[in-house]
């Protein structure tokens, strides 16, 4: 049992820019999880952390206390090493879908505990649930069996992992403290470390469609998370990747599954393929598997085989027709030229308004809703050609979706400067 403290003293210490002691952190996380510290007190502490920050030692201890609030998973019984990937979220970011079976096809087990979308960023589980029959919920025993048999599982995290984080996450959402880097880093890493993976690759998004809008903020978050993983004995690497433009050519649940299957079949958009292979190489390297190139496993169909078995193992039909939206609306290019920019955030909000996302975690999503892109920055466009297709079952949503796309793209002459998909590596 941790030493007893007083919530007001802990809040006051951080308000006045003093470091919190190990015992203060252990006590406040435990007491908040048990309901001894009230929401309004934790809100005040979260705001003090947001304004005054935390040292590496404080963040590490905070993360450990969150892990200790629940259970830890153990994959040491598996016959192969484990590696996981976490993305900080973006628009059109369907990378987990082709990545998990690809890495598994190369001999490394991928225990991918994923979440649902909220706001303008899509959720991996929402995407997979557009496959008829597919189930997100698995017991720990079923997850271990699937990892041993197939090497890959994508499922919902159980309520036993870092319950303190679940409680604090909901609080941050309604107190304007979501962007606090110590709290983002500890939230992500407490769950990933508790999950028990041997290696972790972080995909930290930068740009308008990401939570981190600037490279400096993304770099600080990546460095903080890499330090946390390293301190916990997990081999951790981060890539900063571009999220100024949507990834691939789709944003929306079934639309993104179709695109992921195209990648696994050896096609798909170049940026999705590039990032999938880059992250796969990092995961294999972190798991110390160096004798296989994931590009080969993508080309020869091995990754597709694992995908089909993985979908079927969780009740899904890999051959089933994916849902399509009842209504489409095409937005055409107003002039000819070269597409200079296409704002990821605007596309994400449009997909959300069409029904692909949710405003509250209990809201339903439309499997077929979303935005399809017919051009990316750098592509020539002709006046009147389709630029975007909006998909929804509820056509009254078109007007609001189209409104948020006003000014979301620009057309001009010459090739725009485009950032690399992978901008930086932090290890």
Task: Provide the annotated active-site residues.
Answer: 86, 165, 172, 187, 191
- Return the biggest CA–CA distance within the chain: 69
302-308, long-range: CB within 8 Å, 24+ apart, which pairs?
Answer: 302/105, 303/98, 303/101, 303/102, 303/104, 303/105, 303/264, 304/101, 304/261, 304/264, 304/265, 305/105, 306/101, 306/102, 306/104, 306/105, 306/150, 306/151, 306/152, 307/97, 307/98, 307/101, 307/261, 307/264
Nearest CA to 252 among 388, 378, 157? 388
DSSP annotation string for 266-330? T-S-HHHHHHHHHHHHHHHHHTT--S--HHHHHHTSHHHHHHHHHHHHTT--TTSPPP--SEEEE
Number of neighbours of residue 41 by Cβ within 10 angstroms: 17
- Give, as one character, the DSSP assignment of residue 397: G
């Amino acid at each position: 049992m941790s030493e007893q403290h007083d919530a007001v003293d802990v809040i006051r210490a951080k308000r006045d820019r003093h470091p919190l002691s190990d015992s203060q952190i252990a006590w406040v996380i435990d007491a908040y999880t048990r309901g001894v510290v009230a929401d309004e007190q934790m809100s005040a502490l979260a705001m003090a952390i947001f304004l005054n920050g935390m040292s590496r030692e404080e963040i590490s201890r905070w993360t450990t206390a969150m892990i200790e609030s629940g259970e830890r998973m153990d994959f040491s019984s598996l016959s192969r090493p484990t590696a996981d990937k976490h993305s900080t979220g973006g628009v059109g970011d369907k990378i987990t879908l082709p990545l998990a079976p690809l890495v598994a096809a190369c001999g490394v087990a991928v225990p991918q505990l994923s979440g649902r979308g909220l706001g303008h960023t899509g959720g991996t589980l929402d995407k997979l649930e557009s496959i008829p029959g597919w189930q997100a919920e698995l017991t720990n025993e079923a997850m271990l069996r699937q990892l041993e048999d197939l090497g890959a599982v994508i499922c919902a995290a159980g309520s036993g992992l870092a319950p303190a984080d679940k409680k604090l996450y909901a609080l941050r959402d309604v107190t304007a403290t979501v962007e606090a880097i110590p709290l983002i880093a500890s939230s992500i890493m407490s769950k990933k470390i508790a999950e028990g993976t041997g290696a972790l690759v972080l995909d930290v998004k930068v740009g308008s469609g990401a939570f981190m809008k600037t490279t400096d903020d993304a770099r600080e978050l990546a460095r903080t998370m890499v330090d946390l993983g390293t301190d916990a004995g997990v081999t951790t690497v981060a890539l900063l990747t571009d999220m100024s433009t949507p990834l691939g050519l789709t944003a929306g649940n079934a639309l993104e599954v179709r695109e992921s299957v195209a990648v696994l079949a050896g096609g798909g958009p170049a940026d999705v393929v590039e990032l999938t292979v880059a992250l796969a190489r990092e995961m294999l390297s972190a798991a110390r598997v160096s004798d296989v190139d994931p590009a080969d496993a993508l080309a020869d169909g091995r990754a597709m085989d694992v995908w089909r078995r993985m979908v079927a193992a969780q009740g899904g039909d890999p051959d089933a027709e994916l849902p399509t939206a009842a209504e489409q609306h095409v937005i055409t290019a107003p002039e000819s030229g070269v597409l200079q920019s296409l704002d990821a955030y605007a596309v994400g909000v449009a997909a959300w308004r069409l029904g692909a996302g949710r405003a509250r975690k209990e809201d339903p999503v439309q499997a077929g809703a979303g935005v399809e892109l017919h051009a990316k920055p750098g592509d020539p466009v002709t006046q009147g050609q389709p630029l975007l297709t909006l998909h929804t079952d509820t056509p009254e949503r078109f007007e609001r979706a189209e409104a948020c796309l006003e000014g979301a793209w620009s057309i001009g002459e010459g090739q725009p400067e485009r950032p690399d998909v992978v901008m930086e590596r932090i290890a």
